[in-house]
Amino acid sequence: MGLFDGKKGLILGVANDHSIAWAVAQQIMSEGGQCGFTHLPDRPDDERQRNRRRVAKLTDDCDQAAFLAPMNVSKDEDIEAVMQQAKDEFGTIDFLLHSIAFANIEDLKRDTVETSRDGFKMAMEISVYSLITVCNAARSIFSDNASVLTMTYFGGEKAVPGYNVMGICKAALDASVRYLAYDLGPQGVRVNAVSAGPVKTLAGRGAGVEDMLLLYEKMAPLSRNITHEEVGKSGSFLLSPAAAGVTGEILHVDAGYNIMGSPGRLLEGYGS
């Protein structure tokens, strides 16, 4: 018997097979869960439908993948359409994974103090407000004891040079997890976040993930980087009934990097 047998839910934010959202979804489906997926809408002039095709390549062969729908989280009508499709397909949903974040590359590359006004508003809307509005839209179809999970990063807790405006977004996302956990608690809905260490993803390319991988390997107590599978297992745990008493939490899956108060073993080899 699988941990998600009879469970149904939404996976928001798969871009390709390297996405953390896909790693979580794989664990859920391997444990018997059914998933509805969304993808970033393609431009009208993109006849090849690249965004849809990338995700469809993963979901088309999965018996546990119920549907694949376009969704732009900046458009309320898109969100409502996905929730209606989930209601038509599932009736109610037991879990919702939000793995969505975006900032203009120009704003990510410049110092935080130079972030553009429009770029800041867009980054906050897509990376933070989307969690709030998606949860609000899903309230009527959440089952009893449903669970919500979002993906955050240590750059929202401490200053991480190069992460810049996205660090501010993650700080706001972390706070949103706590407030949503409170608001949705009476309904029995739990809201948590996984703070993953760096892994190679499409989004990670814009955040200097290669340099972070080297740093984490030297500094983390486990002296290594994490894997997609490890994040997937931790994320699926928080979405599962096994975490029934956990809400408003941020679970660090980073080989222990976040506990360090000094460079640790990174100093080895330097003079005394």
Return the domain boundaries, the chain: 8-256
Has 179 been annotated as catalytic?
A: no
Residues 108-139 pLDDT 10s: 999 999 999 999 999 999 999 999 999 999 99
Cβ neighbours for 5, distance < 8 A, ≥ 6 positions apart: 31, 32, 33
Under CATH, what is the fold of the domain 8-256? Rossmann fold (3.40.50)
Task: State the pLDDT at residue 232.
Answer: 98
Low-confidence ranges of the chain (pLDDT < 50): none
Task: State the pLDDT at residue 231.
Answer: 98
Q: What distances in angstroms separate CA 91 from CA 85, 87, 161, 223, one per listed residue?
A: 9, 4, 45, 45
Q: Which of 153, 179, 216, 270 is catalytic?
A: 153
Q: What is the pTM of this model?
A: 0.94
Q: Which of 163, 179, 182, 216 is catalytic?
A: 163
Has 163 been annotated as catalytic?
A: yes
